[in-house]
Structure 1
Amino acid sequence: MTSVKRVHNFNAGPSAMPLSVLEKAQAELLSFNGCGMSVMEMSHRSKEFEGIIKTAEADLRELMGIPANYKVMFLQGGASLHFAMEAMNFRPAGASADYIVTGAWSKAAIKEAAKLGTTNVVFNGEAEKFNRLPAAGELNFDPKAAYVHICHNETIHGVEFKSEPVLPAGVPLFCDMSSDFVSQPIDVTKYAMIYAGAQKNAGPAGVVIAIVRDDMLERVPANLPTMLDYKVMAEKESLYNTPPCWSIYMCGLVFQWLKELGGLEAMYKIDQQKAKMIYDVIDKSGGYYRGHAVPESRSIMNIPFRLASEELEDLFVKESKKADLIGLKGHRSVGGLRASLYNAVPLESVKALADFMVEFQKKNG
């Protein structure tokens, strides 16, 4: 184990990485597998990198149970680029797409899609400050929609889908899963497309993982810019141009770590345990800590909460940093406080935060 000081990292992304993954990458930094080169130096056309990307894909397929009729791609641009790409590739001219707007990121997604064509807001939780998910009776889908878009977990507002919405027959479901990707088992067959920026749970910043059902690729129109064409990227197996090699390598190490841990079922149990520790402190604080999301919509990845005043919240951030609890300031757009409990945040870090919260209330209540 490393003797280097490590803080309790609650950053919302880029975020914590498993220590064993960092140590393995450190050990292989100068020479991957004895080849005499770092992954950062080797050709993306080399046999060494071909092995890295194919192993990463195979491990991800095993972890998520991805069927053979889905393509897995390691792309670039962050999830934000794919807000536009999904519309460009999969919404035909003259068609509309449905969006369930549950927070800042689904709001950003529809804003990009609306620049390129027709969109329909099926649900918008903004009036309630995005503190809940919609009930089934609130959703009125267009049966002719090109697709329905959801953000599975909203990092800023801390709400997370517990099950997929029921769509009209034949309407595909698209999902930005950036912030709870590989945190729990899901049925991939319920989705036509899943994409996720890696920098929350799957690896470092720089790569987006896209999982697309084969039949969707037949919808891609001709003459899209090549780098924005999912069909080209799938046909070239993520290697049309130089991919983010190091980020893909690191994702592969994370997938191996998850397999060694026992897979997504085991990871989900740990993540639930971590979230319960913090929500219990909030719920037992007598209103001193005020969680943002209603209990039935709460995220297990991102927990935003408030105190009685901004001055008290500033003190919380200041004192928490002294205790090596890093990244607890809320998103600049909403303020407050936020703890991000991604896969690699260890139980001992979450316990340290829970203990700090209890003590902070005693001293400043």
Structure 2
Amino acid sequence: MAWWSGPIFPRYRFIKQKLLHSDGAGMMGAGLIREEIRGIRPCKHGGGVEGVRLDFSISLNPLGPPPSIAASLRRFASDPAGLIHYPDSDSSNPCNVIAQSRGVLKEEVLVGNGASELLFMIPLISIEKGDVALIPSPSYGEYGRTVIMMGGQVCYHQLSRANNFRMDIESFKREIEVINPKIVFLCNPNNPTGEYLGREDVLEIVESCKQTGSFLVIDEAYADLSLKRWYSDDLIRYGNVIIVRSLTKSFACAGIRIGYLIADKGVISALKSVKIPWNVNALAQKLVVSLIDGIEYLNRSVRLIEREKAYLFGELKRLSLTPFESDANYILVDLHGRSAASINEKLLEEGIYIRDCASFGLPEFARIGIRRHEDNVELVNALKKILEVF
């Protein structure tokens, strides 16, 4: 007889029976999973497809990682202390370097394991059951997940195809005033549409959020790679603005997750209270220091992106597709009744992959990341062959 099934352990026998014989519902039937979690499904993202040579579904810097990354990797590998010891849980040195570079206080900076981790944390400190988050749509799919986990609700501000998915600022401001959301998420440049709102437009949204007492979370993951990038860091002086950035995309190091946010000191303090310890590994912390001032590298990258974006835009139009004007390092494309999934099936035969926008609610649209010229030419030639028979 097992030790837990005897007469002196009736409670343990009951637990075993409850877990193993719960009308086929398993642990969920036992009520161990929170109701808010049960309906949540992982978001679909670009990348990670087997057999892909040229991945246009991810939108990283087409120049690839800068030389400073290789040098940092060599230095890190030559010093075993970086592997033996725990990393600094507060990422103090990266925070200092970012603060000096951005002209803010170190207490106004938080470094994370990619921008997505930081975006995940924000609703943890703000959303209570029944609170509402307002999100433009289509946009990055991860914003609403933590809101729902915390018992909040998500309201989507629909961007119109008739208006080329451009943001109507007045309409968005009215919705903020009517809904009175706890958080407003703004992806700038927006993913997947590529629209990058200028300072005056963003300031209008900031003022609306200030009036309703809402957080405004500005996700600038792609801003470094835009020709129109502008300095937004001073917006945190409003107190309710949180700005999130991704070094992963700017410097093409997706395998090493690095992101940071800047915000009011009180917001940073609250975020630190929910942050898991040692969330940024020692190597990533070293890379922050070597990357943060790579402005010349970013300028060269933007010049390449603008040149290749113009080439792709023209070629896609010649294929009778409809590309949308973009301020980012990717282009949203209307495939005119063809599903992106079916086109990807054919492209995969050539080892090429584009971003199917079905997860954005746009199954007949694709997002194409800008790559080097020879890669872009290969994509165009592959699309020509496919569209001849589609």
Report the TM range for the smaller structure's normalisation.
Answer: 0.5 to 0.7
Instruction: Say which SS state the counterpart of residue 133 (structure 1) adopts.
Output: coil
Q: Does 1:213 align with 2:249?
A: no
Which amino acid in structure 2 is aligned with residue 195 of structure 1? V
Say which of 132, 136, 148 aligns to 2:165.
132
Report the Cα offset of residue 128 of structure 1: 4.4
Q: Does 1:23 align with 2:56?
A: no
Distance in structure 2 (CA, Å) of the matches to 1:362 and 1:148: 41
Q: Does 1:85 align with 2:121?
A: yes
Report the Cα offset of residue 266 of structure 1: 5.9
Question: How do 1:104-119 and structure 2 match up within 5 A?
Answer: 104-105=139-140, 107-119=141-153
Distance in structure 2 (CA, Å) of the matches to 1:85 and 1:313: 34
Aligned to 1:339: 368
Instruction: Say which SS state the counterpart of residue 161 (structure 1) adopts.
Output: coil
Report the Cα offset of residue 335 of structure 1: 7.0
Distance in structure 1 (CA, Å) of the matches to 2:70 and 2:137: 38
Report the Cα offset of residue 198 of structure 1: 4.4
Which amino acid in structure 1 is aligned with residue 230 of structure 2? P
Report the Cα offset of residue 180 of structure 1: 3.9
For structure 2, the residue ranges without an aligned partner over 5 or more in a row are: 1-52
Note closer, same or farther for the CA distance 1:69–1:277 as it changes in structure 2 (3 Å cut). Answer: same
Aligned to 2:220: 177
Distance in structure 2 (CA, Å) of the matches to 1:198 and 1:189: 20
* Preserved CA contact (<8 Å) 1:13 1:199: no
Instruction: Say which SS state the counterpart of residue 194 (structure 1) adopts.
Output: strand
Distance in structure 1 (CA, Å) of the matches to 2:73 and 2:268: 38
TM-score of the superposed pair, with normalisation by structure 1: 0.66
Aligned to 2:80: 37
Q: Which has the higher helix share?
A: 2
Which amino acid in structure 1 is aligned with residue 375 of structure 2? L
Question: How do 1:1-16 and structure 2 match up within 5 A?
Answer: 10-12=56-58
Which amino acid in structure 1 is aligned with residue 272 of structure 2? Y
Aligned to 2:24: none
Aligned length: 309
Note closer, same or farther for the CA distance 1:265–1:352 as it changes in structure 2 (3 Å cut). Answer: closer
Give deviations 1:300-339, integer Å, cap 9, x for gaps.
22224355645555334433x3xxxx54353573476543
* Preserved CA contact (<8 Å) 2:57 2:369: yes
Report the Cα offset of residue 174 of structure 1: 1.1
For structure 1, the residue ranges without an aligned partner over 5 or more in a row are: 1-6, 221-228
Q: Rg larger in 1 or in 2? A: 2
Aligned to 2:329: 301
Distance in structure 1 (CA, Å) of the matches to 2:343 and 2:112: 42
* Preserved CA contact (<8 Å) 1:90 1:146: yes
Report the Cα offset of residue 193 of structure 1: 0.8
Q: Does 1:290 align with 2:336?
A: no
Instruction: Say which SS state the counterpart of residue 283 (structure 2) adopts.
Output: helix
Q: Does 1:142 align with 2:180?
A: no
Aligned to 2:39: none
Instruction: Say which SS state the counterpart of residue 104 (structure 2) adopts.
Output: coil
Instruction: Say which SS state the counterpart of residue 123 (structure 1) adopts.
Output: strand
Which amino acid in structure 2 is aligned with residue 189 of structure 1? D
Distance in structure 1 (CA, Å) of the matches to 2:312 and 2:130: 44
TM-score of the superposed pair, with normalisation by structure 2: 0.62
Give deviations 1:24-74, integer Å, cap 9, x for gaps.
24432431xxxx4364444425xxx99x962x44553455x3423862112
Percent identity of equivalent pairs: 10
Report the Cα offset of residue 18 of structure 1: 1.4
Instruction: Say which SS state the counterpart of residue 216 (structure 1) adopts.
Output: helix
Distance in structure 2 (CA, Å) of the matches to 1:247 and 1:216: 23
Distance in structure 1 (CA, Å) of the matches to 2:81 and 2:309: 37
Report the Cα offset of residue 101 of structure 1: 1.9
* Preserved CA contact (<8 Å) 1:90 1:216: no
